[in-house]
Structure formats: C-alpha cells, structure tokens
Structure 1
Amino acid sequence: MQDCLSQELNRLLLTEDITTLLQPIVNINRKCVFGFEALSRGPSDSPLHTAPMLFETAERCGQTLELETLCLRTAARHWSGHGTPLKLFVNISPAKLMPPEFNPTQLQELLLANGLKASDIVIELSERYPTADPSELLKTLVWLKAEGFLIAIDDLGSGYSGLKLWSELKPDFVKIDRHFIRDIQDDLIKREFLRSVVDLADRLGCKLIAEGVETEAEFRVVSELGIALVQGFLFGRPKPIATAYLDSLNDHAALASKPPRREKEIAGLLCRYIEPVTSESTLRDAWERLQSEPDVFALPVVDNGRPLGLIHKWRIMETFSTPYGRSLYERLPVSNRHSADALVVDYEVPLNEVSERLINDDAHYLKQHFIVVKNGKYAGLGATRSLLKHITEQKIENARYSNPLTFLPGNVPIQQTLVARTEEMRAFSLIYFDINMFKPLNDVLGYRVGDQVIVLLAELLKEVFHASDDFVGHIGGDDFVVISSSSSANYNAGTVQSLFAERSRRFYSDCILKSGFIESEDRNGQPCRFPLVSLSAGTVEVGPDEKVTADQISEFASFAKTRAKASPNFRFVVFSRARSGERSEGSQDSDGSCVSCVLGEVQN
C-alpha cells in the first residue's frame, strides 16, 4: 500500500497534477470577503485526493518540500487568473523558509511571472510543525515583511510552540484552530480561552481569524467576542473559483443594531451548512464529496433552493458494494437513490417540536438528520444526535434549578429568561402570581393540602400559558411568575384566576364551603375568620424597544403584586411608557376588574 501511495505521489509531482481550491475569509464588520486561503488537492480519482492523505504521504516519503513548491506554483497561477484584489493566504512549513531551501530570487520571480504583489500574499506558518532553528526562521520572516508580505500563524492552540511562536514572530494574523470554535456556544472553557486570546491580540496589535465556523450559533459567539475575520463552511467550502456565501453576514448586520440575544431554542441553533448536490449530480460525485469530508454522512439534494431529500453515505456504500456495483451505478443521478422522506423544518421551529416530529415520524427508524429551511429555501442540516444532546443538556440544566415540588424552573432560569427578553427588545408581559389566604389554609388543612394547592396552580399556569415562547417559573412557596409575548397574556391571567378559584374549592370540606370562610389565628394569635384562597396577578407590560433592565422589571412586578392583592378582583397592571398609550393612566377594564398605572408612576 505504501509503495502504491509513493508511486502515486511521484506521478503527481511529475505531471504537476495538483488542483488549487479557494476558501473565503470574510470580514464580519465590513460584510465583505477579506481574502481566500489556497488549499491543494490531488485528482478526484486519486487515493491522494484529500489534503491529509496527500501531505502525510509526502512527509513519509521525505518529499514535503517538493510538494510544497508545486502547490505554491499552482496556487500562484490559479490566483493570477482570478484578478481579485484580495488577500491570498498560502500555507508554508517552517522548513520551506529555512536556508538553503528558501530562495528569495525564486520567490520574486514567481510573483513577477504571475503578476502578483507581495502585499497581497499572507504566508501562513503552521504551529503544528516544530521549528528547528527559530533564529534563522525569524531572519527569513523579517525579510519577507520588509518585502511587503504579511505573516499569519496557523492553527493556534494545536501544536508545539503555542504563544512562544506568537511572541517571537509578531505576526499580522493569528488563525485560531477550529477545535476551539466547534460547538463553542456550549463550552464555557472554549469561550474563556477565546476571550483571553482576543484580549492578547488587542494588546499586541494582531488580527485574529476564527477557523472552522460552521453554524450560526458558533458564528454569533465568535462575533460577540469581537473577532472580525472568520473562515468556515458557513461562508463557503473550498472551491476552484473565488466565491463566498454571505447571507449569514447580512443576518448579522440586521442584528448588530440590537443588544446581543441569548440563543433561542430553535432548529437554526443546530443548523450546519452542508454544500448540497443537485438531483442531476451522479452517485460518483456524491461519493467523492463524502470521501473527502469524513465528518459528513449525508448530503442534501437541492434544486433551485428547494430541498428534495438526502443522499446517505450508507446508501451509496450499499449500492457500490454489490457485484460490479460501482461500475453499474456510479453514473446514475442521486435522485435514483436519495431519501425523499427527509424531515424538513423551518429555521424558527422550536427544538422540542423538531424532537417530537422526529420521534413521531417513524416508530421503527429514527432519522439521523433533518433539513432546515429559511423562507422555504435550503439553509443547512441538523443532526439528530446534536439535537438529543442539546435537549438532554438543557433538561439537566433546568433540573439543577427547578423547584422540587412543581419541577418548574426556579430563580436562576427565571432571571436568565427575563434578561433574554429585555435584550430582545420585543413587547412582553411579566405576570407575578401569588395565592391569597394561603397561610390560613396551610395552618388549618395542613402542609400536604397546601402543597397540593401549589401544584394545582402550577398545572393551571402550564395549561393556560402553553404558547411556544411562554415561560412559567416558580419563585418559591406560593409565588409564581409567567413571562409571555402573547397579546392576550393579561386575559389569560384572568382565566387562571377564575380556574384557580373554581378548582381549589375541592380541598375544603362541605362545612367550610357552606360558611365561605376558614377559622384560624391571625398574626397576633387572635382567632379570626379568613376568606377561601384566591389568586392575585400583578402584571408588568413592557413595550417594544423599551430601555428597562431585568432588575427594574422585577421591582415593578413586586409593586404590581402588592397593588393586586389590594385591588378589585386582585389584578393590577403596570404599563411601560411605550404601551401606556393603549390605556389612560389609572384606567380600569370594562368590567372594573383590573386597575393599572404606567412605569413612571412606580418610579416616582
């Protein structure tokens, strides 16, 4: 096998059968392509097609420098044909820049022959390879900088020398290894590492490039950390032509004017852009794609933006494994073997709904992928494994802070949700529910009945506030909170009050129900008659684009609850200035059941 690979490498070097592909590097802030990285590949039908196999074989055969020289010549010729006034990033090993291998005259001739300028070339020096003589390497880099070349350290965090190489070489760019980017939205350690690297780069006057950005979630975190240059499949796969996919930049620009938002639990959170094939692509084309991308197990089949299904790696392997399978079927279109029953979901669909659809779709087979669309057009793929992992982690996180009696989210998730809603700058209502006369009931009927009444209220809140973005939390004791974007939130609060008054009566004896009160001691130890339990609802309605903090809303909610307990039918609403125009100050509902004020009155 090794002899075959060695012979194939010698053939490629002799025939110069190397292809240059270009992957875009984009500038988030300017919403444009900053440059392209030149990536080398062997022929598509060669065992040395993929970069890892190609360069690992060259290293084993001691021909790395010969291969690099060929790749540089090929990249220069390929880039000169595009006439693009952008930066070209090329990979060079330290050994290639060390004497006697490094030849300044040949480098200048290569630029001249292809009409290139040194200032347009960024030399990527990989951190994966050790440097035998740093002082000699530094001399070469000083010369290159003097000539106008730019220097980048590739794969920061993946190799031998770490920050030492950075401090010695003083590069213009540092590319962060994709290991630190993958799933960064779910990894606190990775985010802290990147935050420290961003701070260091600012101090040293160096630009960072985040490699391997594949999902919207990763992109948002990288952007929020202040990294302006990004590279990855989300913006374009390596292709022979200089192209880029910039829709994510446009989406980012639309959000840039608003404060950062917490990740929404939607299908788009797990969406990864996989370059699709068309229905006319052959099984051979699809197989070569899947072979060159070992972490991809299915390709979306898309015509004119409309997803038709998935072509699975196992399906092609099954087809080719039959006698003469490859020669018989490789020229067939993928439409002959693709799965047309793939689950297609909208970008904004909640993850729990995606999970339910996957589980209910087929009782005997759980699909491994689902297709995500935006406005009916293909946007990317989601992996069922990632979905289940995310939901499991979310449930574990919720369980940590849930109330042990009702299993509703407790104070930490309540605060997180409230902060997220204020950052969204959309209209929403926060309703603070409190049970009236709960202590007398608890004292007379016992804690067991008291717990049952609390559970009853929790069930009612979940029953009435069941919209996808409704949030029901349990502060503690008999205090609950609901956060809802529904325009009927205040009406729903009244519904809960009515249902609670009706269903809570079952906990009393016929005698108590007939008398209409319960006898117990007041706070001074004196016998007293108390009404049966009822429910107070203090509401804070926040308008769109309202500049109010989560802490302020919490204060307004406490005020509203206190006023509700002393108001007719136990309801009170505090309106923000943005929504106060809907009612006059101090107004009542038509049935006189709900009084209100605006936030200014609370603050004054």
Structure 2
Amino acid sequence: MKFNFLGQDAELTWYSQDIITASVDTIYGREILCRGFITASQSLIPMAELFSYLYANPALLLEMTCQQIKDSYQESVTTKTPNIKTWINLAGQLITDNDLFEYLYTNVLCSLTVQQKQNLVLEICEDDISDEVVVARLSFLKTHGFIIAMDDFGSGHSNLLRLSHIHFDIIKLDLQLLAKVPDDLWAASFYREIVNVCSSVGSLIVAEGVETSLQSDFVRWAGVDLIQGFLYSKPKPLKQSYS
C-alpha cells in the first residue's frame, strides 16, 4: 500500500506471524503486521517512527487496517486455508472516533461472511480499553460474531476490572511477564496466577514472546492455550505465510 511518509514516497507491506496451539503445535492463526519502506532506497522505516506517523494520521491508519483485512482474506481464499484465524490489530482511535468506526464497520466488517467473522480476531491493546465507548463498541462487535482479543495484558497498567467489563474471547499476556521466568520463582508463580485468573472468565490465553524451549515448556505448564514467539515463527511476508 503506497503512502507519503514525511514528503517521501513509501510503501506499507504486510507480514504475518504464526500463533500456535499449545496442545498440538498446529497453526491456530496468523497475526498481520506491517512494515514501512521508503520506495527509492527500499530502506526500512523504524517501527517507532512509522507508528507515530500512523497514529498522527487516522485516515491512513483506517486505510491500512481495511486493506490488511481484505488482503489477508484474499490470501486465505487463494491458498485454501480459510480456517486459520486472521489477527488484526485494531487501534483505539478506530474505535473511539465515530466516523472512523462507522466506515470500518460499514465498508469492511459488515460485508464479511459468517465464517469470515468467526475466523477474524480483532485485537486491541489493553491501554486502549479506557472508556465506555470502547467497551460498548467491542461488545457490539462481539454480538455481531467477531472474536475480540486483548493485547499486552499485564504490561504495567493492568486493571482486572477490565475483565469484568467485557468478556474477551482471547487474552494475550505481555511478553515482559516472561522476562524472569522460570528462574525467578515469584515471577513464575505470578505468571501462572494471571493465567488462572484470565482462564476463569472463559478466555483463551496466549503467551507472547516465547523464544526458548524452556519458556515454551514453562508456559505450557502454566496453562496457556496458544503460543506466539520467535521459537515457532518469525514475522515473514504475508504471501510467504500462505504459500
């Protein structure tokens, strides 16, 4: 997707990272990610700069999200892998802004089939779940058949009351929670307790940031349902993911 980045021609391309079922090591879904490149030099735009620019340009952010959904479903149809769930990061701005949310729902989400809705995971960062508008609209999307996930749970601003405001289908644990486990006994016990609390509300739990076999064994012991991390999959271009 072509766009203008600070006066330079640039392009957004889609990458994806597999999310694995912990019990059987099969692919449960793929999270769609984006990378930005300057067209002339093909140099990578630093992620912090790219997302700062995207969040400052809501119309571009909306266009990117819509295109990610369309392109990922086209790939799944072309390669006949419709049952692998597609994970899309949904920025808080697209939910809180009336016009942006209406466009996203009316022009993209509303046109999806029942099966496509059941295989689309809309993921929102925990910090973006901050007001009644967000809660109401996420609940609206759930009632219309979409899977709703909370990202980065435990990132430092966690509020367990958020789990009672809306029943998240999936909760992704922040990768920083794994930083000291399993060596640190307190950190390991804390991680397992978070898994237990989140599981008690009926959510599937994703362990993010799994990079070693030891971490993989630990999160399985802790009771997570899904695993994401470099040990199993590094981000790769979307077309390669479905080839």
Cα 1:96/1:111, change in 2 over 3 Å:
closer
* 1:271-311 C-alpha deviation (Å, 9 max, x unpaired): xxxxxxxxxxxxxxxxxxxxxxxxxxxxxxxxxxxxxxxxx
C-alpha displacement of 1:104: 4.1
Aligned partners of 1:41 and 1:49 also within 8 Å: yes
Q: Retained in 2: the 8 A contact 1:130–1:160?
A: no
SS of equivalent residue, structure 1 residue 198: helix
Which string of whole-angstrom CA distances, capped at 9 and with x for unpartnered residues, describes residues 405-462 of structure 1? xxxxxxxxxxxxxxxxxxxxxxxxxxxxxxxxxxxxxxxxxxxxxxxxxxxxxxxxxx
The reply on whether 1:53 has 2:49 as its aligned counterpart is: yes
Q: Which residue of 2 aligns with 1:343?
A: none
Residue 124 of structure 1 is matched in structure 2 by 123
Instruction: Compute the displacement of 1:181 (Å).
Output: 1.8
After superposition, where does 1:319-358 map in structure 2 within 5 Å?
none
Partner of 1:109: 107
Paired residue for 2:233?
236
Amino acid at match of 1:95: Q
CA contact (8 A) 2:20 2:228 kept: yes
Residue matched to 2:222 = 225
The superposition leaves residues 90-136 of structure 1 with CA deviations (integer Å, 9 ceiling, x where unpaired) of 111222112413444643432577877221111111024463xx211
Please name the residue that 1:76 is paired with: 69
| 1:219 Cα deviation after fit | 0.4
1:172 to 164, 169, 184: 169
Aligned to 1:66: 59
3-state SS of paired residue (1:174): strand
| Paired residue type of 1:207 | L
| CA offsets 1:152-208 (integer angstroms, 9 cap, x no match) | 110111153532323212211110111112352222232112111121123211111
| Residue in 2 that maps onto 1:430 | none
Structure 1 counterpart SS, 2:17: strand
Mapping of 1:490-569 within 5 angstroms?
A: none
Between Structure 1 and Structure 2, whose CA radius of gyration is higher? 1
Does the Cα contact within 8 Å between 1:154 and 1:174 map onto a contact in 2?
yes
Q: Deviations over 1:309-328 (max 9, x none)?
A: xxxxxxxxxxxxxxxxxxxx
Q: Pairwise mapping of residues 216-295 of structure 1 onto structure 2 (< 5 A)? A: 216-240=213-237, 241-242=240-241
- Using the size of structure 2 for normalisation, the TM-score is 0.83
Distance 1:58 1:235 in 2: 29
Give the Cα–Cα distance (whole angstroms) in 2 for the partners of residues 71 and 225 of structure 1: 36
Contact 1:95/1:101, CA 8 A, preserved across alignment: no
Equivalent AA in structure 1 for residue 139 of structure 2: V
Give the distance between the partners of 2:148 and 2:50, measured in 1 at CA. Answer: 24
Percent pairwise identity: 26
Aligned residue identity for 2:93: A
TM-score of the pair, normalised by structure 1: 0.36
Mapped partners of 2:44, 2:87: distance in 1 = 22
3-state SS, counterpart of residue 43 of structure 1: strand
Matched, 1:33 2:27: yes
Quick check: 2:195–2:205 contact (8 Å CA) kept in 1?
A: yes
Displacement of 1:220: 0.6
2: CA distance between counterparts of 1:228 and 1:50? 32
| Aligned mates of 1:206, 1:112 — CA distance in 2 | 25
| Partner SS, residue 81 of structure 1 | helix
Q: Which residue of structure 2 aligns with residue 135 of structure 1?
A: 132
Contact residue 174 and residue 208 of structure 1 kept, 8 A: yes
- Corresponding residue number in structure 2 for 1:7: 7
Paired with 2:72 and 2:22, the residues of 1 have a C-alpha distance of 23
1:143-154 mapped onto 2 (5 Å cutoff): 143-154=140-151
Distance 1:152 1:121 in 2: 10
RMSD: 2.6
Question: Given the superposition, is the C-alpha separation of residues 119 and 105 from structure 1 closer, same or farther in structure 2, using an over 3 Å criterion?
Answer: farther
CA distance in 1, matches of 2:54, 2:134: 22
2:86 corresponds to which residue? 88
For the residues of structure 1 that align with 2:96 and 2:149, how far apart are their CA atoms? 17
C-alpha separation in 2, matches of 1:51 and 1:126:
17
Q: Could you tell me which of 98, 101, 111 is aligned with 1:100?
A: 98
Taking a change above 3 Å as real, the CA distance of residues 130 and 205 of structure 1, as seen in their structure-2 partners, is closer
With over 3 angstroms needed to count, the CA separation of the structure-2 counterparts of 1:108 and 1:118, relative to structure 1, is farther
In the TM superposition, residue 56 of structure 1 has moved relative to its aligned partner by: 2.1
Equivalent residue letter for 1:52: A
2: CA distance between counterparts of 1:146 and 1:130?
18
Matched, 1:207 2:204: yes
Unaligned runs of 5+ in 1: 245-604
SS at match of 1:160: coil
1:78: Cα distance to partner? 2.4
Structure 2 residue ranges without an equivalent (≥5): none
CA distance, structure 2, for counterparts of residue 222 and residue 161 of structure 1: 20
